[in-house]
Amino acid sequence: MSTSNKTIQTKFYQEDIVRRNDSPNVLGVVLRCWHDPEDLPIAGPIMDPLMRPLKRGEVGVSFFPGGVREIVAEADYTLVDRTFQIGDYCKRSIDDVCSGVVISTKVQAKLVHAITNEPVEGWKDVQDLRHSTSINGGDYVVYDDWVGQVSLFDELVVSTSGILVRIPEISTRLTVGDKGIDLLPSPIGHQAIYSGCHATPIPTPNDTVVDVKHTVLAICWLAVNQSLDPEVAQSKHRPERFWYGEQLSKLTVIRSKSGDIRVGDKVTLEGGRKVPATVYDTGSDINDKIIVRTLCVQETRTVATVLWQDGTRQTLSSTELIPYLNIDEYDCWPGDHVLWKSEDQAQVAVVQSVSSADRVALIRCLATGTLETVSALELDPNGAGDLGGNILHNYGLGVRRGDSVFIHREGTTNGFDSPKVPKIGEIEEWVREHPVRNDGELGGWRRAMADLGARLATEHGTYRTQVYDVKSPKADRSLVWFGEVSELRLDGSVEVTHPNGEISVLPLERLTRLYDSLEQIEDDGWDDEISSHNSHSDYPDGVWLQDDNGIWRYDKGEDDEDDEWEEMDEIEGAMEIDIPWAEDEPSAVVDDVIDSLPRSVTPDIADSISPLPVSPSTTTPDASQEIDIGGDQEDSPWKLFDILPSAPPDHAFYTTPCNQPSKAFLARITKEYRALSNSLPESILIRAYEDRTDLLRSLIIGPENTPYENAPFVIDWMLDSNFPQSPPIAHFHSWTNGNGRINPNLYEEGKVCLSILGTWSGDRTETWSPARSSLLQAFVSIQGLVLVKEPWFCEPAYDKLRGTEEGMVNSRLYNEKAYVLSRGFVRRALEMPPGGLQAELTWLYCTKGKLAKVLRDSRQLIEKSKQAHSSSTLTSRDHQDVAVPRLTAGGIITLERTLVRLQTLHDSWQAKDLNRQ
């Protein structure tokens, strides 16, 4: 296991417990960090002082008791404890390539009385503590074979000015002991306060919550017991949405996470032990008192047992570990189910151990039981190459420690071929209702819940009423059909802990993962953001409207088609880049468009332009560096822009219907074609088609000194009937064999994530504009802004890590993957060349020797890497100057396999060439 001797500057992470250096009694929990991937600039006014942009070296902290929130200097605080849960990934240091998974924790807590702050003697084990309330928001509940997730309505009792008042509120998240001047509603809304006092109390800073009751639950029912016979399961209708009163005692609560007690939580101590107590008299009966024995977790200390990638286990203080946040897509740990993807097949395997420095794994193939040492770059631990599984197909590979799972009865399976594990959980539309109406009042189900809670509070009258509560599953043996993954065994079986604490050992195929409502809403959130960004508000001169055929079209609010026709003539002067738009009048039919353009165009490279600003990390070589054509070009098939008679059947959009092009469309496409004829760089080829003016195909050769150098990238394009009002639609041909993305912006399923295409939320100046943008700009953007020297930083959340140890380690590993996979692109393009580009690819790689260069450069890199492994001669300067300075042992294994195939292709072509001579 590798450990770094380099001193790494202390960094805090979310949920760390910190102490102020000059005030030992001041403790806080970290809520925000500069390096958080999700910590991106906030649009609009900042209402919370904790949400202003962070500078490096700052953290956002919530202090306790009191809940004061403030951004402070990291250097002024010391780490007290670091929170980990079972299933969390961790490292010893930022630049350590070895990681581990937390398999157990032991947490102890210091406690004080929640109201008086009177201390409880000694450290207490978390196992002896229970949350002060029986259920929390987000917990799971079970009823009649259904599993649901809860939201809460509370009745608070607040001590203020010597009296007790009862306040019904929705999802307050307030707990016993919370204080503040803002606990009571404003005098305007004092009718919502229920107490034995007719006067309206005046809020004070000493107002204190002394009791909390959850009176109404709104439950999102997600999925039904999977061990039932299908006929029985179909008869189990979704239970009611709202639960209250005596109904609550019919529910069984299942905590969504085990052992998740943290600093600031309000708890009770089991075992009847003596703890400080505070008594509040409700004013009437001597037995009608509120006795508060609630405690507050003041400080914790955590010890975690970690299973490292090499298979060793170690128990350490949590402060000796750091969370592993930016997980590499090839990372896996002992017990994980993976697919080993070789050239010809994919085998199901279980990871036994991983040498993280070498990127090599020892796996057990489940079909044969044999052990194999393989490159980690040939393993898929997640499904479809994307971290976190494939949401589209609703499954992932295997399960993870901490997952909530359904258990199918013996003799049945989840219906998927192992190691695929389906995710089930369907949230109803009411869950997504907007929380606030236009008038500022609660809306949707929250309004209905608040009205119900207020009515119940009125009916309760005095404080003491019959209290109903949810049941604990501690002694319930009927819930063996549900549980939490607690361990992954090396033989492929899975340990599941049931709600009552019993453990079962099960095969993977009998498990189905619960896809809970919080996870689903988070997964949907990004799409909502993109949709909002691309809404009509981005186009102030018009709106998108859906026509009678269900097609979304851009409407400028003008009825005269001639106005649209005349507007096309104005585009020439409005373009931001220097594109020589044609002066010809637009043709009215497709044939006229085709005939007006040359069949083959090879522009003078001196006339090429670079229409995009290039960031410091972007490599954009001049044309002579990109592709050394050499010799007489007149007879070469390397035509930068060409119009072919028909679109190839392997075009991604070949089967899409082609709409009759309008005059405006033909006018714009004429100008686009002329721009492409004159301004393409030599490393980009574009093919258009006589029979489909709405389709194009691009071939982009990766720039030098990037992990993509000399590799072919094929992207298909479609121009819908709204073009140019809407951007072109792209489909990337990913030839990674399911072994992960080759670039953060190029997805395996074909998505091209780029602002100008409307598939990424960027600044408005970067998005598609009918007047300012062009196809040329889109093509060049991919080469100049996507196929770059350090693609890992293309993710906006990671760009700020440029220059940090964490960024350097992750970028180096990503570049190796991108380089190795892109050598496979060369093989794929030559073995199965995409339609319309066969001659060009053969000419470039075989006739002009690009394949020989790929082989030579790859072998030199392998030799250099082997020497570096033995001598450690590479310096930090080498890493900065060269996109791929060396390869790991796993990278070498995968690359050498590809080189064997490439060498065979090279030899075969040479033999054919000799025969021709």
pLDDT tens digits for range 186-202: 654 444 444 444 456 78
For the whole model, what pTM was predicted?
0.81
What is the CB neighbour count within 10 angstroms for residue 140? 22
User: Lowest mean pLDDT: which of 290-304, 447-461, 566-580?
Assistant: 566-580
Q: Taking the CB of residue 299, how many other CB atoms lie within 10 A of it?
A: 16
810-854 pLDDT, tens digit each: 899 999 999 999 999 999 999 999 999 999 999 999 999 999 999
Judge: domain 641-870+881-916, CATH 3.20.20.410.
Answer: no
Higher pLDDT, 288 or 178: 178
Q: What is the structure's pLDDT at 25?
A: 83
- Residue-wise pLDDT tens digits, 49-73: 677 888 888 999 988 776 788 899 9
- Asked whether the predicted pLDDT for residue 307 surpasses 90, the reply is yes
Is the pLDDT at 586 greater than 70? The verdict is no
| Mean pLDDT across 102-128 | 92
Is a pLDDT exceeding 50 seen at residue 146? yes
- Select the more confidently predicted residue: 241 or 573: 241
Task: Determine the distance from the C-alpha atom of residue 547 to the mean position of all C-alpha atoms in its chain, rounded to a whole number.
Answer: 34
Which ranges in 680-804 belong to alpha helices (H)?
775-781, 796-799
Q: What is the mean pLDDT of the chain?
A: 81
Tell me the per-residue pLDDT of 346-355, one tens digit each, with 9 for 90 and over.
Answer: 899 999 999 9
Q: Please name which of 871, 863, 850 lies closest in space to residue 895, comparing C-alpha atoms.
A: 863
Interval 772-821: pLDDT, tens: 899 999 999 999 999 999 999 988 778 888 888 888 888 999 999 999 99
What is residue 205's predicted lDDT score, i.e. its pLDDT?
Answer: 86
pLDDT tens column, 355-407: 999 999 999 999 999 999 999 999 988 875 443 444 444 678 999 999 999 99
Asked if residue 718 has pLDDT above 90, the reply is yes
pLDDT band at 262 (very low <50, low <70, confident <90, very high): confident
Mean pLDDT of 238-251: 93
Phi, psi dihedrals of residue 825, rounded to the nearest 5°: -65, -35
- Decide if pLDDT at 512 tops 80: yes
pLDDT of amino acid 557:
43
Does residue 548 register a pLDDT over 60? no
Share of the chain above pLDDT 70, in %: 78
Class of domain 1-82 as given by CATH: mainly beta
pLDDT at 518 over 80: no
Per residue in 694-705, pLDDT tens?
A: 999 999 999 999
pLDDT of residue 787: 95
pLDDT tens, residue by residue, 432-485: 888 888 888 888 999 999 899 888 888 766 554 556 788 888 878 889 999 999
Strand partners, 194: 166
User: Phi/psi class of residue 413: alpha, beta or left (left: φ > 0; alpha: ψ in -120 to 50)?
Assistant: beta
**Between 518 and 904, residue with greater pLDDT:** 904
**Does the annotation count 753 as an active-site position?**
yes
Burial class (CB in 10 A: 0-12, 13-18, 19+), 810: buried
Q: In the beta sheet, which residues pair with residue 148?
A: 141, 221
pLDDT beyond 50 at 760: yes
Cβ–Cβ under 8 Å, residues 544 and 532: no
Q: Tell me the mean pLDDT in the region 688-711.
A: 96
Q: What is the mean pLDDT of residues 167-182?
A: 82
Span 205-239, pLDDT tens digits: 889 999 898 899 999 999 999 999 999 999 999 99
- For residues 684 and 698, give the distance between their C-alpha atoms in angstroms, rounded to a whole number: 7
Of the candidates 90, 753, 794, 846, the residue annotated as catalytic is 753
pLDDT for the residue 556? 42
Give me the residue spans of the domains in the chain. 1-82, 641-870+881-916
Closest CA to 407 of 394, 395, 427, 421: 421
Confidence of residue 908 (pLDDT cuts 50, 70, 90): very high
Region 533-559: mean pLDDT is 37
pLDDT in tens, 854-880: 999 999 999 999 987 765 544 444 556
Q: Is the pLDDT of residue 128 over 60?
A: yes
Question: Where does the pLDDT of residue 41 fall: very low under 50, low under 70, confident under 90, or very high at 90 and above?
Answer: low
Sign of CA dihedral 794, 796, 797, 800: positive
What span, in angstroms and rounded, lies between the C-alpha atoms of 553 and 556?
10
Amino acid residing at 425: G
Report pLDDT for 699.
97
What's the gap between Cα 531 and its chain centre?
Answer: 17
Spatial separation of the C-alpha atoms in residues 483 and 426, rounded to whole Å: 19
